[in-house]
Structure 1
Amino acid sequence: MKLHWLVIWAGPLFLNPVTADCNITLQTVTCEESGKNLSNISTDLFQNVTKLSLKNNKITLKDGDKKILQSFFNLTELYLNENMINVLYNNSFCNLTKLVILDISNNYVSTVHKAAFAGLNQLSVLNLSYNMITQLDSDVFSFLKSLAVLNLQYNYLKSFHIKSPFKLVKIVLAGNPWTCSCDLLDLQIWLTASNVTMENEDNTTCTFQNTMEKFSIITADIQADDCKIQKASLKSIVTSTSVSKLESSTLATALTPNTTTGNNRTHAELPLIGKSWTFLAGVLGFVLSTTLLIITAIKCPTWCHYLMSYSHHRLEENDSEMFEQEFSADMSSFPTVLDTNDEEPIVIFEKNQALAPVEDGFSEDKYIDSYVTEES
């Protein structure tokens, strides 16, 4: 019976009119809001509703929707299937302490936060099938103390770590790309040891890394001993990596200069080399300029000497007499030997030095050569 005015069965208390289609039975209040192209949960719904269907809409279940859901204290069934939910945030259903059935199937859920189902102490059935979930935290279902049926079929799960105690009556895992590896060993052991019923078991298979053959996730030959060795080696690698990171961070902290000012203890850190291009450019410029100045200071006298050695001028004619006098004086310094027959003296030139003449800053001129030839 569809009503626009609702009367609660507990007494003659009348409620405000609503626009939603709600039905009243002896113990339930059902509101049907399906297929109305809603992007948000309506605020005109009765707060005492017990069964709410919001399937086939465009609801994303963000902050606004979470606040509206918190007012439905009596809600026992909630259907959010076929919407546009991408993320299940923490405390999305925290006030729904009486909720028994929650259906979020056929959405686009890829991320489920750790405390997404916090507060659902009475939840018995959870349907997360036909979503895009790639991994689930082992603690994500720890809040669901009364959970009996869990449907995770047709997601993108490759492994699922079970954290004990985890008690279910039925679980649905088919249609996921499970990998027959050590990551699946916990689930395999739990399925074998518990009394849970796995629905659609024939399609619940896994594949080993290098093969395409499918095996049942319950009977797949996953060696527990190999997994123990793998976990031990992985633990040692993680430990060594953590120690290396700790040593690196300690060294970086020790090498980072800090200055403390007053009681506020304000630390001013200098920029690290390699992370500040400005600092690096300044250091490089300083080194280059200093090197250039040092080279200039060392080479300057040599360069000046070279420049002065190239400054010469042509001999003038009035300097010939001076050259003749100097040449005669030089000739007089050589020894002479007198012959016994009183012949002309023979001048003997001694080669005192075999080395090249010392440069006096003047270059050789052909005018001098011709003058000497004529005089001789």
Structure 2
Amino acid sequence: MKLSWFAIWAGILFLNPVTADCNITSQTVTCEESGKNFSKICTNLFQNVTKLSLRNNKISLKNSDKEILGSFISLTELYLNENMITVLYNHSFCNLTKLVILDISNNHISTVHKAAFAGLNQLSVLNLSYNAITQLDSDVFTSLISLTVLNLQHNLLKSLHIKSSFKLSRIVLAGNPWTCSCDLLNLHIWLMASNVTMENENTTTCTLPNTKEKFSIKMAAIQPADCKTGKDSLENTVTSTSAIKLKSNALLTALTPSNITGINGTHAGLPLVGKSWTFLVGVLGFVLSTTLLIFTAIKCPTWYHYLISYSHRRLEENDSEMSEQEFAADMSPFPTELGTNNEDPIVIFEKSHAFVSGEDGCTEDKDIDSYSTEKSSSLK
């Protein structure tokens, strides 16, 4: 039996020559690759490795590294501390379903994506200490159903939202710039309600806003009533703003031409939104014209009175005929006979057209008066 096991391991070593420092026992395969300046995870490792230490290297955990890690399906312990990791992307360890311990401390991690730990159903210990994490989504730990120890000390966290269903036995939160405000209320309530043990409780403090006074996270005077009032006021503000927007949208929808129909079912002639420049120019021209007329009437009363006093009367046909006869009589070169008696003396007179304007506005012809006087004397 021992010979058969030896033959199997010999075959594995022959097919996969390994230069890494790996120790093989009956139950575990441990590979120690620490402090070797690796920029990526090496591929010359046992596929059935159970404990892999890559501490103190220059690994950034890019896509190629994730693919290599995905081949170690038997891995139960992974140590990536003291490397150059800055971001934990989604599904970085999705194939490591048997992983129990994950240490990513002492890196430069600032961002942790929501599904970074997806698939780690057996993970029990997660170490994220000594990084630069500023914010963690509450769903980051949702898939970690077996997690019991969480180490977040010495990051840049000011608040942390944890769901009430999240269960831990030990948590480390010291060394973060926690703020004693309503943003910390969720964590404060969770710590008080759960049976979790917080390590370094005395040094895990929060600072009051605008002050340097520090209090223990568990003992901080964060009143739920005050936070609830602030939250309610914020919700009321959001609700009122939403209601105003809805009313505005409803009014705009009601006034659009597509929603207004005429008697015969045709659309009413309202200007379309975005195509009303012609309508606006017409209205503006009308207003300017009216304003100009009013200004002219006020500043120029003479023209205004002239326009008001002007009257037009159509000439009658009889008046035009009489005017033509009078004009013909005036232009006749010969004197007109005064009667049927041929013995009547003929009076020749010289016409001089001199028009005199009377006071009543009518023109008087002196020749007409002279002619009337001569005729009267001859008849006598």
TM-score (norm 2): 0.64
Report matched runs for 1:208-247 at 5 Å: 208-246=208-246
Q: Give the direction of change, closer, same or farther, for the CA distance of 1:33–1:248 in structure 2 (3 Å limit).
A: farther
Larger of the two Rg values belongs to structure:
2
What is the alpha-carbon distance in structure 2 between the residues aligned to residue 199 and residue 104 of structure 1?
A: 19
Which residue type is aligned with residue 148 of structure 1? T
Which residue type is aligned with residue 104 of structure 1? I
Match of 1:89 in 2: 89
What is the alpha-carbon distance in structure 2 between the residues aligned to residue 170 and residue 164 of structure 1?
A: 15
Q: Give the direction of change, closer, same or farther, for the CA distance of 1:83–1:252 in structure 2 (3 Å limit).
A: farther
Q: Aligned pair 1:333/2:356, yes or no?
A: yes
- CA-CA distance at 1:84 after TM superposition: 2.2
Which residue type is aligned with residue 98 of structure 2? K
- CA-CA distance at 1:151 after TM superposition: 0.5
Q: Which deviations, in whole Å up to 9, do the C-alpha atoms of 1:341-370 show, x marking residues without a partner?
A: xxxxxxxxx898xxxxxxxxxxxxxxxxxx
What is the alpha-carbon distance in structure 2 between the residues aligned to residue 167 and residue 191 of structure 1?
A: 11
Q: Secondary structure at the match of 1:136?
A: coil
Which residue type is aligned with residue 95 of structure 1? N
What is the alpha-carbon distance in structure 2 between the residues aligned to residue 13 and residue 252 of structure 1?
A: 80
**Comparing 77-86 and 243-252, the one that deviates more:** 243-252
What is the alpha-carbon distance in structure 2 between the residues aligned to residue 46 and residue 225 of structure 1?
A: 58
- CA-CA distance at 1:219 after TM superposition: 0.5
Q: Secondary structure at the match of 1:189?
A: helix
What is the alpha-carbon distance in structure 2 between the residues aligned to residue 24 and residue 191 of structure 1?
A: 42
What is the alpha-carbon distance in structure 1 between the residues aligned to residue 5 and residue 226 of structure 2?
A: 63
CA contact (8 A) 1:88 1:113 kept: yes
Root-mean-square deviation (CA, aligned residues, Å) is: 3.6
Match of 1:165 in 2: 165
Match of 1:189 in 2: 189
What is the alpha-carbon distance in structure 2 between the residues aligned to residue 87 and residue 35 of structure 1?
A: 21
TM-score (norm 1): 0.64
CA contact (8 A) 1:9 1:26 kept: no
- CA-CA distance at 1:184 after TM superposition: 1.4
Match of 1:14 in 2: 11
CA contact (8 A) 1:86 1:108 kept: yes
What is the alpha-carbon distance in structure 2 between the residues aligned to residue 101 and residue 229 of structure 1?
A: 42
Match of 2:60 in 1: 60
Report matched runs for 1:1-376 at 5 Å: 11-12=8-9, 14-15=11-12, 16-246=16-246, 273=274, 283=277, 287=281, 333=356
- CA-CA distance at 1:334 after TM superposition: 6.2
CA contact (8 A) 1:125 1:148 kept: yes
Q: Secondary structure at the match of 2:187?
A: helix
What is the alpha-carbon distance in structure 1 between the residues aligned to residue 249 and residue 32 of structure 2?
A: 58
- CA-CA distance at 1:71 after TM superposition: 1.1
- CA-CA distance at 1:104 after TM superposition: 1.0
**Comparing 116-125 and 23-32, the one that deviates more:** 23-32
Q: Which deviations, in whole Å up to 9, do the C-alpha atoms of 1:17-71 show, x marking residues without a partner?
A: 0232222233221222223333322222221111112222232223222222111
**Comparing 229-238 and 166-175, the one that deviates more:** 229-238
- CA-CA distance at 1:10 after TM superposition: 9.6
Which residue type is aligned with residue 217 of structure 1? I
Match of 2:309 in 1: none
What is the alpha-carbon distance in structure 2 between the residues aligned to residue 103 and residue 257 of structure 1?
A: 64
What is the alpha-carbon distance in structure 1 between the residues aligned to residue 222 and residue 123 of structure 2?
A: 33
Which residue type is aligned with residue 18 of structure 2? V
What is the percentage of aligned positions where both structures have the same residue? Answer: 70
Q: Give the direction of change, closer, same or farther, for the CA distance of 1:12–1:20 in structure 2 (3 Å limit).
A: closer
- CA-CA distance at 1:75 after TM superposition: 0.4
- Structure 2: which 5+ runs fail to align? 259-271, 293-351, 362-380
**Comparing 35-44 and 107-116, the one that deviates more:** 35-44
Which residue type is aligned with residue 140 of structure 2? V
- CA-CA distance at 1:249 after TM superposition: 5.9
- CA-CA distance at 1:178 after TM superposition: 0.6
What is the alpha-carbon distance in structure 1 between the residues aligned to residue 36 and residue 253 of structure 2?
A: 59
- Structure 1: which 5+ runs fail to align? 1-6, 259-270, 274-278, 299-327, 336-349, 353-376
What is the alpha-carbon distance in structure 2 between the residues aligned to residue 255 and residue 45 of structure 1?
A: 71
Match of 1:266 in 2: none
Q: Give the direction of change, closer, same or farther, for the CA distance of 1:102–1:255 in structure 2 (3 Å limit).
A: farther
**Comparing 8-17 and 86-95, the one that deviates more:** 8-17
What is the alpha-carbon distance in structure 1 between the residues aligned to residue 9 and residue 78 of structure 2?
A: 27
Q: Which deviations, in whole Å up to 9, do the C-alpha atoms of 1:111-154 show, x marking residues without a partner?
A: 21222111111111101111111121112112111111110011
Q: Give the direction of change, closer, same or farther, for the CA distance of 1:87–1:249 in structure 2 (3 Å limit).
A: farther
What is the alpha-carbon distance in structure 2 between the residues aligned to residue 212 and residue 13 of structure 1?
A: 65
CA contact (8 A) 1:39 1:58 kept: yes
Q: Say which structure is richer in helix.
A: 2
CA contact (8 A) 1:147 1:168 kept: yes
Q: Secondary structure at the match of 1:150?
A: strand
Which residue type is aligned with residue 333 of structure 1? V
- CA-CA distance at 1:256 after TM superposition: 8.3
Q: Secondary structure at the match of 2:11?
A: coil
What is the alpha-carbon distance in structure 1 between the residues aligned to residue 182 and residue 93 of structure 2?
A: 34
**Comparing 31-40 and 115-124, the one that deviates more:** 31-40
Q: Give the direction of change, closer, same or farther, for the CA distance of 1:224–1:19 in structure 2 (3 Å limit).
A: same
Q: Secondary structure at the match of 2:92?
A: coil
Q: Secondary structure at the match of 2:119?
A: coil
